[in-house]
Structure 1
Amino acid sequence: MVNWRRCLYLAHRWLGIGLCLLFAAWFFSGVVMMYIGFPRLSVDERLAALPALQAESLQFGPRALLAQLDGDLQIDSLRLSTVTGRPAYLLRTAGREQLGMFADTGERFTEFGTGDALRAAAVYAESLGIAAGYGPTYLGRIGMDQWSVSSELHRHRPLHRVSLNDARGTQLYVSSRTGEVVRDTSTSERAWNWLGANLHWIYPLQLRRHGEVWYWVVVVLSLTGLVSILSGAVIGCMRLRWRKRYRGRDVTPYRGAMKLHHLLGLWFLIPLTTYLFSGLMSMGPWGIFDEDVPYATQRASYRQVPPAQSALQGSAGAEELRQVLVARPHSREVVWHWLAGWPHLYTVGGGNSREPLTMRPASVGAAVPVDWTQAALAQLNAMMTGHAVSAVDTLTAYDNYYYVHHDDWRPLPVLRVRYDDPAQSWFHIDLATGELLNCLTATGRLERWLYNGLHSLDFQFLINRRPLWDLVVIALSVAGFVLSLTSVVIAWRRLRPKSRRSPGRPARKLRPDSTAVAQPTS
């Protein structure tokens, strides 16, 4: 007959031995990630590194680019920006292909080379006022390295890596498809990430380049850790005595590291369990958070972008854009978007300030008093035919479902429109531009709590009261780290070579459960 107690103790012991160092690394790296995230180029950083668009350099309008494309091509995004110091139109197709044209000469983009990457880096450094020792240095062309494994960079590969030779040790990654700087890293950022994101996400390049393998490694380790936690919880409760205490005073039979491990594991059982469980939820295992109607489909229905040949009908040409840039000399970009098939555009300035445009001759460059609420509601109702609006709210401050954390950016105010469809959809509309920002269903809201809420403690009463959030997260992480260290000590005692006993000295008998190693959560 199977002795279930013995199986429980053995499972917990050897899972603890196998995972204790990983769990300690997870807790430590989580604290590092609170302050130093994985390298990326934030919205604010990207805009700050762009020079203001110069009206006199603009010789061609966006229709000149579309005229060179397949007339049936579907546009995903279009903007006027700066590439290697020159004004350029950047277009992404619905198939995620990157296309472009320089607005000063009408020259179509081809692949950007070494010289282009160095010019892009020089413009970046000049715009940010970075003092480089002797100018940018080209470090090579790469497909992927440790700091560029993110899937969002796939459409820009291969990448050019350039060093700015500045005091921060800045290295830039330049797209060979668009000539844009798409990522920046510094020496300290790279160093800390070996103790932060690379540890926490199990992110070595050799593993991460194989996305499916990496996914299952994280899922299996998370599930194994949960088994370790639950087995430890059962053992911990079984070994706890409130009456007939051990040695007349202790609720635990253990001493030293085992005692601390036993008590800490029970005291912090709930936060430790939810921490590891939410880490598993971050992977969306087995498609549990997949939507019946993908957001990309809803966004396409809201925008209804015509084919390329007619996508910009009635929109601005080169002369009108020059007038806009004269009226708004601090504009970094001009962005086109569509609502119900009609093109709209706005300028983006420093600090991500956005101003819609009107092309009426008498008021070129003036802000448009567009009633985006009515226009957006009309289009959403057309999309959601058969379902009624259950609520319409204007958000002027972040809440539990529309918020930012750390250095992220989201526009305010926004319009939230709720529907009574089976998915219980909530749409968020940018009231400055009329753009659809996202759609949050009941499934998405559940994911928000099971992952962000439980893993990062993204609760408004905490993240709006920093450093309270910092203190709570660090305290729980320290508890988990100490618990993990007790597992390391216990595991070492179990695995270290046994010293020889003196001749004639009998071996001390141990209870079957006295050497069990309890294991912390992630």
Structure 2
Amino acid sequence: MKRKLYLIHRWLGIVLCLFMAMWFFSGVVMMYVGYPKLSHAERLAALPELDGVNCCATLEQWLQAAGRDGEPAAVRLTSVAGRPRALLNYGRAGVVALDGVSGLRVDGVGADDALAAARAFMPGVPAFHEDLVDEDAFSHSKALDAQRPLHRIQMADAASTRLYVSARTGEVVRDASASERGWNWVGSWIHWLYPFRGGVTERFWNDIVTYSSIAATVLALLGMLVGVWRWRFSGRFRSGSRSPYREPWMRWHHLLGLLFGTLTVTFIFSGLMSMNPFKVLDSGAPKVGQQQRWQAARFTLPAREALRRLAASGFEARELEWRVVDGAGYFLAWDGQGRTRLLAAGGEDGAQPFAAFDIARMRALGGAMLASSKVTEASVLSEYDTYYYSRDAHTMTGGMKHLPVLRLKFDDPHTTWLYLDPSSGAVVKQLDGHQRAKRWLFALLHSWDWAPLLERRPWWDLWMIVICAGGMLISVTGIVIGWRRLRP
């Protein structure tokens, strides 16, 4: 039996050690350079203030011009090339873009329009249209699916920024500097096996990542088992060592495996958990946010009047969202610093912008979302907890999260937790038991986003680099051993 396990470990190592070395090296790159994305804060900072004097067509005009059955799931007023643009999201039916002032539908965005949007996004910077693509190495994200195809616009700034402009809405949806693009070839792009995205291998990408991660986890576990079997805990070999290997590469592979084996296993296994293999982390719990249905009848206050009231209160709105909270319509406004204001949209006389909903109202609203279950704990968090926390903007789950939030725990079969943001009235996070388990099996073991480490950098950096360096050294010694086994 041992002989068979030795052979399985040997041949799995020959096949997978290159992959594992690549994963550990690219993991270090990703600590400092993430996959390109345009953060919410960056996008808001580039938008002009919405003009309440010259804007806008009515909501009814937008809905009629959209020409879709049913009501949209969301409505947002933003700016494209310095001009107001309404975006009506119909879910799977796609996003409809309309000129915010005239109410006319925008059916496709050409190269000239994309250039105008890019120049407004980065004023004073020369822009050049490259081409129109559905997807490329830096735009694989599913979040962009509703925006495709994408115009690629090259900006002549010092960072050699490439902007991606949606051919459907005209929005700038992604930016990627030359430095980000360069490092991503040896960072996120290779770490996530994106060479298999696109073309004939696209539909197999998920399986390729999942099964290669399973095989690598088995390889690492077998390596630990073999390493322990071969280590002499009592007595020594003739060489005076507790390891039977005299050849340097074999010896170092054995010793490094014993030293870093556990961390190597957890790193590879946690990467596997990020893929949610075979849906093992799905609980089937319904999304409570789906219970807040959008209805045009809830919004009788014109957007023009909403912008006027926001401006009169000293708030420079750069984007406006139509939201339903507790059965009533509200405008959610954003300024260039990511701050928000709320305004009742039901036509109430004298309604004025306000910063946040009352906590008691949010408590009642959250409890009603799972009316068949009891709230076992309600807490107002003024600091992040283990499951609701912030990471650097470039990381996969990065970005600032609002505080304070209301956390509700329920006694339902899925042991649901809800995090409600009083500044927007939205459920910003929903967790069940399976998702909390994923937080430990993936987020902690893979990137060690543990508050005592994250708050004490560079200790987090050193810990992560040690893990990746140990795993990479194991892999490199395995590559050499495998090459020697295969060569004539």
Name the TM-score class by shorter chain. Answer: over 0.9
Correspondence for 1:367: 354
CA pair 175-434 structure 1, distance change in 2 beyond 3 A: same
Question: Matched residues in 2 for 1:179 and 1:325: separation?
Answer: 26
Correspondence for 1:262: 254
User: How many residues were matched structurally?
Assistant: 481
Correspondence for 1:61: 58
Matches within 5 A, 1:313-324: 314-324=300-310
Q: CA RMSD in A?
A: 2.1
Worse-matched range after superposition: 380-389 or 181-190: 380-389
Sequence identity percentage: 38
Q: 1:458 offset after TM fit, Å? A: 1.3
Which residue, out of 273, 286, 289, partners 1:299?
A: 289
Correspondence for 1:222: 213
Equivalent position amino acid for 1:304 in 2: R
Structure 2: tracts of 5 or more residues without a match? 394-398
CA pair 247-187 structure 1, distance change in 2 beyond 3 A: same
Q: For the Cα contact (< 8 Å) 1:348–1:355, is it kept in 2?
A: yes
SS, match of residue 172 in structure 1: strand
Correspondence for 1:118: 115
Which residue, out of 17, 21, 24, partners 1:20?
A: 17
Question: Matched residues in 2 for 1:362 and 1:402: separation?
Answer: 37
Equivalent position amino acid for 1:190 in 2: R
Matches within 5 A, 1:338-377: 338-358=324-344, 366-367=353-354, 370-371=357-358, 373-377=359-363
Does residue 287 of the first structure (1) align with residue 276 of the second (2)? no
Deviation by residue 1:272-305 (Cα, 9 ceiling, x = unmatched): 111111111000011111231332xx2121x232
Question: Matched residues in 1 for 2:317 and 2:460: separation?
Answer: 37
Deviation by residue 1:348-399 (Cα, 9 ceiling, x = unmatched): 112211112246787565426642x333333333332221110000111111
Does residue 194 of the first structure (1) align with residue 185 of the second (2)? yes
Correspondence for 2:70: 73
Q: 1:207 offset after TM fit, Å? A: 4.8
Matches within 5 A, 1:371-520: 371=358, 373-407=359-393, 408-497=399-488
Correspondence for 2:319: 333
Question: Matched residues in 1 for 2:69 and 2:241: separation?
Answer: 77
Does residue 49 of the first structure (1) align with residue 50 of the second (2)? no
Equivalent position amino acid for 2:284 in 1: D
Q: 1:443 offset after TM fit, Å? A: 0.9
SS, match of residue 475 in structure 1: helix
CA pair 29-208 structure 1, distance change in 2 beyond 3 A: farther
Question: Matched residues in 2 for 1:323 and 1:432: separation?
Answer: 18
Worse-matched range after superposition: 44-53 or 91-100: 91-100
CA pair 369-170 structure 1, distance change in 2 beyond 3 A: closer
Equivalent position amino acid for 1:108 in 2: R
CA pair 326-163 structure 1, distance change in 2 beyond 3 A: farther
Correspondence for 2:152: 161
Question: Matched residues in 2 for 1:103 and 1:202: separation?
Answer: 41
Correspondence for 1:85: 82
Q: Which has the larger radius of gyration?
A: 1
Does residue 99 of the first structure (1) align with residue 89 of the second (2)? no
Q: For the Cα contact (< 8 Å) 2:307–2:317, is it kept in 1?
A: no
CA pair 269-208 structure 1, distance change in 2 beyond 3 A: farther
Correspondence for 1:515: none
CA pair 165-107 structure 1, distance change in 2 beyond 3 A: same
SS, match of residue 90 in structure 1: strand
Correspondence for 1:500: none
Deviation by residue 1:435-480 (Cα, 9 ceiling, x = unmatched): 1112111111011111101111111111122111111001111111
TM-score by length of 2: 0.93
SS, match of residue 26 in structure 1: helix
Question: Matched residues in 1 for 2:74 and 2:9: separation?
Answer: 52
Structure 1: tracts of 5 or more residues without a match? 498-522
Q: For the Cα contact (< 8 Å) 1:59–1:105, is it kept in 2?
A: yes
Q: 1:106 offset after TM fit, Å? A: 2.2
Q: 1:206 offset after TM fit, Å? A: 4.5
Q: For the Cα contact (< 8 Å) 2:35–2:188, is it kept in 1?
A: yes
Deviation by residue 1:233-255 (Cα, 9 ceiling, x = unmatched): 22111111122301252000113
Q: For the Cα contact (< 8 Å) 2:356–2:424, is it kept in 1?
A: no
Question: Matched residues in 2 for 1:452 and 1:209: separation?
Answer: 31
Q: 1:57 offset after TM fit, Å? A: 2.7
